């Protein structure tokens, strides 16, 4: 199993550009989530999904969209990038009901200039 994979590893955007951060898992996990990590702020939840077709907002959802058309994939879309979205983004997955452990991907480092 590859586990949780994220692409790209690094990305530089200009203000106003849009892009999609990709996340995929091959463990047949129902639960997937996106976090951003900023210095001194810990891991803050952006959006999460409890299964295909179901998504919900986390703590910091503004400026981000998600969809979950398959169990495997959970892309994160930045609609119009802003410097405040400069961060490291982590995708995570969990088997779901009855199992709590979250498996994190390696992260995407995004810089918005």
| Binding footprint of other proteins on the chain (CB under 8 A) | 4, 30-31, 33, 35, 40-45, 48, 50, 58, 90, 92, 94-102, 104-107
Q: Nearest approach, Cβ of 16 to other proteins (angstroms)? A: 29
Q: Which is nearer to other proteins, 80 or 99 (CB)?
A: 99
Q: Which is nearer to other proteins, 17 or 65 (CB)?
A: 65
Residue with tokens 């702020």: 41
Q: Can you tell me whether residue 35 is helix, strand or coil?
A: strand
Residue with tokens 């976090």: 35
Q: How far apart are CA 99 and CA 68, in angstroms?
A: 20
Q: Which is nearer to other proteins, 14 or 40 (CB)?
A: 40
Q: DSSP state, 85? A: G
């Amino acid at each position: 199993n590859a586990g949780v994979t994220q692409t790209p590893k690094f990305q530089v955007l200009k203000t106003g550009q849009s892009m999609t951060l990709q996340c995929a898992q091959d463990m047949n996990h129902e639960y997937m989530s996106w976090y951003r990590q900023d210095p001194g702020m810990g891991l803050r939840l952006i959006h999460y999904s409890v299964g295909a077709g179901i998504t919900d907002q986390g703590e910091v959802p503004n400026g981000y969209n998600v969809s979950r058309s398959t169990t495997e994939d959970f892309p994160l879309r930045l609609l119009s990038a802003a410097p405040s979205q400069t961060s490291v983004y982590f995708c995570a997955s969990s088997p779901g009901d009855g199992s709590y452990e979250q498996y994190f991907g390696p992260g995407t480092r995004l810089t918005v200039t």
